[in-house]
Chains A and B, each alone.
Chain A
């Protein structure tokens, strides 16, 4: 392997300076050129749509089984949540993993050093990454949300009558994609703070899945209030067809609470990224 095609030194850097659009382009190249990203998204799609169909089918075939009364109440009050709940519940795991991996894989492989040498003012790197990831997630999760809804409602159509024109239904289906997208950004922020894949995934999943359980153990008066403002509990309100009695927040308020959590987490992540040695 002997080589040497001539180098032509251009002392003055030629051409225009790179702008934020170039950074977005670079982050898109990064995200699409690693298999783990692609596979995690595939798993997310399969899990979401697959489990929506599977649970829908099992529910349909065992419609007259035990606990039918409670289920019927739910199916009427919140048909979208009833159809999409399982898929979203499992799919958000994949989204958390993906959000964390997008940044922690840079730390574990050392790519972060290459990234920060290229863009030494670090916050634009995080901003570009978050934007590209958000757009990718929004497209994928909205497609998945609508596919799941159509598949699930088709399977359950004999017992659950629901259409996009019903009050709150379209908002809830779109909301499922919005919730998963913002959750992915929240996980990205956690990954940026913690930098280690295993620790960050544990933390993200702890916040999403375990905190609601813990807050449920608190005395009901204030446990309920804390619970309502947790990222997952507040964020999933937007996926419910209607406000339920006892909800402390409206769907959009709940989504707003999740967004505030995410913005705060990203701000802390940006601060740490800027301050710490790479």
Chain B
């Protein structure tokens, strides 16, 4: 179990983490979600004792990280920042870490096999692709067979196969009863991976709840409408207070994404004007929910972008090849 209690980290006058408290329970994947610059990585560094907080304390099974003996046997971490010397081989990197924990060299071979790096174990890590580097990072995290794992943006930059691999690994580890905290700035990614979400923005806790609840709570629902009379319907919807985004021509003419109106209301408007509808689909927008939660706390936000994204993303939901594959597998 991981407990963050009132953590604050200031860089100069600016708080990267601002009186943040949460608990991460074992046996499930907890998503740590927030826009870029929300303080996710800093929070992880505070938990891992790499940075000192100005207030508060982070506890791992009731103890501070620095008070753990052989910490890699309790906590495994995959940081977003680099942690490997490019001139050192994967095997030697794992070997020196194993030695610090009193682990046998045979454990190095086990984790190399676990992540599928046996064949390149004696190659220097500087020549590794992003995917291989992430696998080495996972090997480091798993070295001490820890009951707690912290993964900072583990799927960033990975190809779909790599993304699936990490996802399935996390689920399997959680099913074994381990505590998994995984950060991401992508709501869609979290929706298919995490059982529970901790959402932060500007270093503050925005919400924590099960992933289902966060999605269900979304008020920013949107409706997909397909009609041969798109111009007229769009005018009606706008007049009724809704917002309309036109679909791209590639998606077929007459595709509208409506926000701000229930699907029933869109149907009534169409009926009252005798407009034929070919499709009327209510969409729950994950990105929309996330944008809404964090709209007050985007670090490098562009005014007005929220609406544009909220309108566009639902139309793309389900078309992400990785998400689609995962969805059918579940």
The answer to whether A114 touches B83, judged by C-beta atoms less than 8 angstroms apart, is yes
A82-122 interface with B by 8 A CB criterion? 105-106, 109-111, 113-121
Tell yes or no: B265 within 8 A of A by CB: no
Q: Is the CB of A29 within 8 A of B99?
A: yes
Chain B residue nearest to A16 (CB atoms) is: B102
Residue in A closest to B162 when the chains form the complex, CB atoms: A1
B229 lies within 8 A of chain A by Cβ: no
Interface residues on B, range: 35 or more
Q: How far is the CB of B111 from chain A (nearest CB, A)?
A: 9
Is A277 on the interface with B (CB-CB < 8 A)? yes
Given A34-B88, A277-B52, A118–B147 Cβ distance below 8 Å? no
Q: By CB atoms of chain A within 10 A, which of B52, B88, B178 has the most?
A: B88
Contact B68 A113 (CB under 8 A): no
CA distance A17 to B100 in the complex (A): 10
**Contact for B169 among A4, A106, A110, A114, CB less than 8 A:** A4
- Which residue in chain B gives the minimum CB-CB distance to A31? B96
* A245 proximity list for chain B (CB < 8 A): none
Task: Please tell me if the beta carbons of B173 and A13 are within 8 angstroms of each other in the complex.
Answer: no
Instruction: Indicate whether A69 reaches chain B with its CB closer than 8 angstroms.
Output: no
Q: Which residues of A contact B85 (CB under 8 A)?
A: 34, 105-106, 109, 111
Q: Does B320 contact A (CB under 8 A)?
A: no
Q: A120–B68 contact, CB under 8 A?
A: yes
Q: Using A33-B96, A120-B68 as known contacts, say yes or no to A9 and B87 having CB atoms under 8 A apart.
A: no
Does B81 sit within 8 A of A, measured CB to CB? yes
**Interface residue? A19 (CB, 8 A):** yes
B residues adjacent to A (C-beta < 8 A): 45, 48-52, 65-66, 68-74, 77, 79, 81-89, 92-93, 95-97, 99-103, 110, 113-116, 131, 135, 140, 142, 144-145, 147, 161, 165, 168-169, 172-173, 176-178
**A positions within 8 Å CB-CB of B:** 1-5, 7-11, 13, 15-19, 22-23, 25-27, 29-30, 33-36, 105-106, 109-111, 113-121, 277-278
Q: Which 9 A-B pairs have the closest CB atoms?
A: A18-B102, A3-B116, A110-B82, A33-B92, A26-B99, A13-B73, A120-B66, A29-B96, A118-B100
Q: List 25 contacting pairs A-B, 8 Å CB cutoff, sorted by A.
A: A2-B165, A3-B116, A3-B165, A4-B114, A4-B168, A9-B147, A13-B74, A18-B69, A22-B99, A25-B99, A29-B92, A29-B96, A33-B92, A34-B87, A106-B85, A110-B81, A110-B82, A111-B88, A114-B93, A117-B49, A118-B101, A119-B100, A120-B71, A121-B66, A277-B50
